[in-house]
Every structure is written in structure tokens, then in C-alpha cells.
Structure 1
Amino acid sequence: MSDQTILAGTIFRGREFEPIEGRVVIEDGEIAAVEEATVDPSSWIIPAFVNAHTHIGDSIAKEAGGGLTLEELVAPPDGLKHRLLRQASREELVDAMARTISFMERAGTAAFVEFREGGVDGVAAIEAALADSPVDSVVLGRETVAAMERSDGFGASGAADGDFSHERTATAEAGKLFGIHAGEVDASDINPALDLDPDFLVHMVHAEGLHLDRVADSEVPVVVCPRSNVVTNVGVPPITDLAERTTVALGTDNVMTNSPSMFREMAWTAKLADVPAVEVLRMATVNGAEIAGLNCGLVAEGRDADLLVLDGDSDNLSGARDPVRAIVRRAGVDDVERVHYAGKA
């Protein structure tokens, strides 16, 4: 006998997030049907978020290092973050990451793509932190091929930090995901990063015309993290230009400097970039899912039932004339009515 759950309300269906009144029928963790029906429309049903770029290890040091440059904060091997990670015990690290994952769970994140420091030990630590959580993860090991082999792929720091061709080849041979930071501080590492034929790029703050053309030609997706870029004072990514050329997803980057709230990331993006609200919502859901090779991110038949239910009649959202715009620009954790994870209520 199959396990069936029904969610009813205003459903934001498909890639256009078309609002319809009805029911989402969930069977064995998958969306079996999206049915139009007369129901109470006050519950808003959207895909749960996919946070396409995180560093949650530095949950041990929230708001540390104010006023430092990006290099002083996070550059390997001796940026403040890396020094603090070396000083932390495994128990401290796992507990801090577990609390961040717990926050993401309450804030409607279905999955996150983690660039995981610490080699094999770092991968094992995040596995421990995820042990009791319904939140899915795509963990990209760093520093060694062994970390890639233990995880879901390799997350490179940037082409300026070394030659990652060996790691790229090994990751491709393993059939795993390869992502790399590029264009965060300046444009010098973008072409070398693109030369590696990555599965996706992160940041691209300083992308110029040539780089945008290469991104379009290669169809390589880009994950942008605008809040992080503003905090570290490196600039604002050309989100509109990137979105015109390739798939763009959103990430919250370092927990040291930003909460892993996709609500906040969407609001910043909507107010910084000239892109429609529906596109920003795609950046926070299906685009990240598809970059990560996940089957969530849409309210559509056959998709994993990772769904976020918002209270459309909350004091914050009631009276919204454009619900998608309201979700993107003003919704927050306090508006979350329920999160349904595939296979788990």
C-alpha cells in the first residue's frame, strides 16, 4: 500500500509558478498529481528551496572577522575561516553544522550544495551533521581527490589557487559534479576556470563580455551569491546579463557572513537585478536542483515532493496582489506553515 499525503491550497505550478487552487497528491515521496479543485486558497504551495552554494563549516564563527578583506576571511590555507576550522574540535564543528542545517530545514530548504573543507574528515563531519535531518545535500569535497571520492564531487576554490586539472579529470572519470569559484575578486581566474569545463561556476562578479560569451557558448550554469559579495565588498554579480545567457541559481555562501536564508537571498536578488520575480523564484528552486542533479524544485507530477507551504494569510503576506512577487520580495521564515520533505512529512 502506498503512503499518500494531500496538500491543499493555492499551488504555484510548473516552471512559471502558475497559481491555481487545488490539491497536490503525494505518493511515496513523489508528486503523483496536481489537481485543480475548490479549496481554501490561503495556504501557498511552492517548491522547497535549493541553496546552490554553501560553506556551512564556518557555522562555528558567525559574524567573525568584520572589516576583513575576502582574502583575509576565506582564502586557503590561512584565511580566518581556515584557522578557526583548524582550531575547532570535531564535536564543535558537527554541532554547529547540524544547527545550521536545522535552520535551513525550518526555513524551507530542501537541499543544499556544500563546498566542504577538511578533506575526507570534513566530508565525514558533514555526514554526521546531516544524520538526523530530512534536508538533502550535494557535498563537494575539497583539497584532495580522496575527498571527492568520499563525496558527491569536487568543489574547487578557484583557478588562481592552483592547477585543478588533475582533480577535474578524476571527478569526470568518477562521473561526479565539479564546481569552481570564478570571478569573485577580479576577472583573472574566469578563463582558466572555464578551460576546466566545469559543471558550474560560482560568483562571476567580475564577468566581462568575453566571459559572458564563453558562458553562453558552453552553456555552463552559474551560481550567484549577491549578499555575500556585498558583505565582502567585491561587487555585485551581473545577474541580469548572466540570466540572459545561461541557467542561474542562488546560493547563500559562507554562514560566517550570512544566514543560509533563501528568503533573504531572493529579496536581495530581486532588488539588485532587473529580472522578473518568477525568474528569481526559479533561481531559488528548480535551477539549483537541476545544477545539482536533483529531482525536486518544481510542483509538477513526477518530481520529488519537497514542498514549502506558506501562510498566504499571514500578517506579512495577506493582501498581496502579486503572490509570486510577494514570495520573492517579502516572505520569510515566519510565514512558513509547513515543509514537506520527500518521504518525510
Structure 2
Amino acid sequence: MDLAGTILRGPEFEPVEGRLRVVNGVIQEIVPDDVDSERIVAPAFVNAHTHLGDSIAKEAGRGLSLEELVAPPDGLKHRLLREASDDELIEGMRRSLSFALRSGTAACLDFREGGVAGVEQLTRASDGLAIDAYAFARDSIDAMRAGDGFGASGANDDDFVEERTATREASKPFGIHAGEPDSSDVDPALDLEPDYLVHVVHPEPRHLDRIAETDVPIVCCPRSNLVTGVGLAPFEELHERTTLALGTDNVMLNSPSMFREMAVVSKYSSLDAPTVLRMATRNGARLVGRDDGLLEPGRPANCLVLDASTDNLVGVRDPVRAVVRRAGTADVDEVIVDGDAVLGSSAD
């Protein structure tokens, strides 16, 4: 397979006019060439934090506080999850995964409610779809063992010491929410030596020092933080200290569109476009040991291809800024996963 167009090559996403050649699902080479193509080839996204089960309750809970919306066990989302049938949950997650794939996402890291059964629901929802859905189970050690890691709700809900120990023994990643409504749970979350934190909207100076010392990655979810009114993370200060990834969080609140998430970060911070695109691709991939997220020889051929002749993108002068700030699902021409075209021009 050859993909012709403007290839966003390497960790800086250098625009190279030419061809990306794929052999056996792996990028073989990127060949500069004078090609007649109005397409932009970028790495596929890795959505580093989702709650896909919330797909059954899109736009529910208007006017509720963060605690009223999502706090376990009696927040609105948890009540709705308990009331939903398996078929409803699976169908909702499958539809969200299909949209994410159509939007150029090759993988997502899902904080999975419902114990072992919840892990199985996500497996069934993703069956046959060319998107990797990682289950970070939340409710038990058994669920963690059945899934891909543990996703803790927050250190104010429990101490999670037993779960952290078991996850480490299982050689699986441990993520935890921290610093979302306030700073009270950041220190105890860091005490657990997590593999990554989610949110960190309200770090205090000592937290920033600890984050720098431990180099713990952070997944930012700005649209969710805006909807729930907790504010925005200090992106620049966090970026100076550690690796940042990007997630779309609750499907109840936001569509799983990484385009929209990148645009918010780019327009509410001074981070440049390559930095934001890395947050949406390579940095999220590293959290689960994936080798994709960059277009380089030897890496998996997981790409999204944009049609730069659409009404939205025609006339673009900076393709990296275009991907980050302007492009959307309607501009996606193809999605390539492991060298196979899994989506054609019906993406809009």
C-alpha cells in the first residue's frame, strides 16, 4: 500500500510531500516525491481516557455538579449504568467506538465500570471493529486481571493500596483520577506511584514538584473539565514537567472526537500544534506500550488521511495546525489500521 500526500513525519510531524509505503502492516519508508494529491496523512489518534459506558446517557444531567453527575456510587451516571441492560450498554459502547474509529482513533483507554462483566461488555462491544479498546477496570482486582489495567476513581474514594499492589504484580498499568474538583487527592494519588494521572486541574506547587520528580504522565480532558465547571489544567506548567496525553472522558458529556479535544487545548493554551498532536497520538500510545502514534519506518501503519480539498480545509497553509485546530470527522477520507483501510470516504 502507498499513501500519497503531505505526510506528517516523525515526532515533530514534519510535512513531507511524498509517499508513505506500507508492507505487511508496517511503515516501510517515507519517500519524498512530487505527488498530485490534496491529502494529509497523520498518525491515528490514541484516546487516553474514556468512559464509554456513559454512551447510554448522552447529554444527561444538565445543571448537575460534578459530584452529582459522576461520583460513585450514586451519581447520575452510576444510577443509569445500573438500570441499563447488557445489550443497551454494549450497543452504546459499540456506536461510540465506531464513531471514534471513523474520526481517526486507533485505540482508547477506557475506565471500565461493572467489574468482570463490564470488561466482557467492552470486549463484546469492540468485537470486529478495527479499534483497540483497553479495559482499565475500576471495581475489583478480579476485573483488573480480566482486563488491561486498573482505573481508580480517585484517592478520596478509597486508598487503593491493595489494588495498586495487585496491578503491579500483574504487570499491568494503573491509572487514577486526581486533582479534578480540587487538589485534595493529588498527594495520595501520587503516593500510589501510578503509571499515570487523569485530569490534574488543580495542582499546587508541591504537586508540580512531585510530578516533575516522578515524571508521571498526565492525561488531560479539557472539554469535560469545562462542562463540569472545574476549570482547565495548567497545560503549560504540566508540559514543562512531564508527558501529557489527551482523552475525551465521559461520552455522557462529550463525543469521543480527538479533533475537538485538540482544538480546545490548542486554543486555550500556548502549546504549539506539534505538542498538542503528540498528546493525541504518541503520548497516549506510550501509556499502554504501543509503538504507533508516529509515522516512521518500522512503526505500525496506523494513520488517518484527511482530504485537504474539503470546504473546511482547502487553502490550508500549515497542515499540522490544520489537523489540530481546524479538521474534523467530516474531513477524514480514510483510516488505516495495521496497514488496512478500515474506512473509506463515507467518513463524513
Q: Do Structure 1 and Structure 2 share a fold, with TM-score over 0.5?
A: yes
Q: Which amino acid aligns with 1:249?
A: A
2:32 maps to 36
In the aligned structure 1, how far is the partner of 2:261 from the partner of 2:328?
A: 11
Matched, 1:214 2:210: yes
In the aligned structure 2, how far is the partner of 1:77 from the partner of 1:201?
A: 21
Q: Which amino acid aligns with 1:296?
A: D
Q: What are the within-5 Å matches in structure 2 for residues 1-345 of structure 1?
A: 5-345=1-341
Q: Classify 1:343/1:23 alpha carbon distance in 2 versus 1 (closer, same or farther; 3 Å).
A: closer
Q: Number of matched residues?
A: 341
Q: Which amino acid aligns with 1:49?
A: F
Q: Which amino acid aligns with 1:314?
A: T
Per the TM alignment, residue 325 of structure 1 is displaced from its structure 2 partner at its CA by: 1.1
2:333 match: secondary structure: strand
In the aligned structure 2, how far is the partner of 1:283 from the partner of 1:250?
A: 5
1:32 match: secondary structure: strand
Q: Which amino acid aligns with 1:21?
A: E
* Percent identity (aligned): 60
Instruction: Extract unaligned runs of 5+ from structure 1.
Output: none
2:253 match: secondary structure: coil
In the aligned structure 2, how far is the partner of 1:186 from the partner of 1:41?
A: 49
Taking structure 2 as the reference length, what is the TM-score of the superposition?
0.97
Asked whether the equivalents of residues 52 and 292 of structure 1 are also in contact (C-alpha less than 8 Å), the reply is no
In the aligned structure 2, how far is the partner of 1:306 from the partner of 1:138?
A: 17
Per the TM alignment, residue 344 of structure 1 is displaced from its structure 2 partner at its CA by: 2.9
1:45 match: secondary structure: strand
Per the TM alignment, residue 137 of structure 1 is displaced from its structure 2 partner at its CA by: 2.1
In the aligned structure 1, how far is the partner of 2:339 from the partner of 2:136?
A: 24
Deviations 1:253-301 (A, max 9, x none): 0000000100000000101111111101111111111122111100011
2:241 match: secondary structure: coil
In the aligned structure 2, how far is the partner of 1:137 from the partner of 1:128?
A: 10
Per the TM alignment, residue 343 of structure 1 is displaced from its structure 2 partner at its CA by: 4.8
In the aligned structure 2, how far is the partner of 1:337 from the partner of 1:262?
A: 16
In the aligned structure 2, how far is the partner of 1:292 from the partner of 1:169?
A: 18
Q: Which amino acid aligns with 1:74?
A: V
Asked whether the equivalents of residues 122 and 133 of structure 2 are also in contact (C-alpha less than 8 Å), the reply is no
In the aligned structure 1, how far is the partner of 2:144 from the partner of 2:28?
A: 35
Asked whether the equivalents of residues 134 and 344 of structure 1 are also in contact (C-alpha less than 8 Å), the reply is no
Q: Classify 1:189/1:175 alpha carbon distance in 2 versus 1 (closer, same or farther; 3 Å).
A: same
Taking structure 1 as the reference length, what is the TM-score of the superposition?
0.98
Asked whether the equivalents of residues 22 and 35 of structure 1 are also in contact (C-alpha less than 8 Å), the reply is yes
1:112 match: secondary structure: strand
Q: Which amino acid aligns with 1:317?
A: L
2:237 match: secondary structure: helix
Deviations 1:34-78 (A, max 9, x none): 111221241100001110000000100000001100111001111
Asked whether the equivalents of residues 116 and 142 of structure 2 are also in contact (C-alpha less than 8 Å), the reply is yes
Per the TM alignment, residue 237 of structure 1 is displaced from its structure 2 partner at its CA by: 0.6
Per the TM alignment, residue 199 of structure 1 is displaced from its structure 2 partner at its CA by: 0.3
In the aligned structure 2, how far is the partner of 1:15 from the partner of 1:215?
A: 23
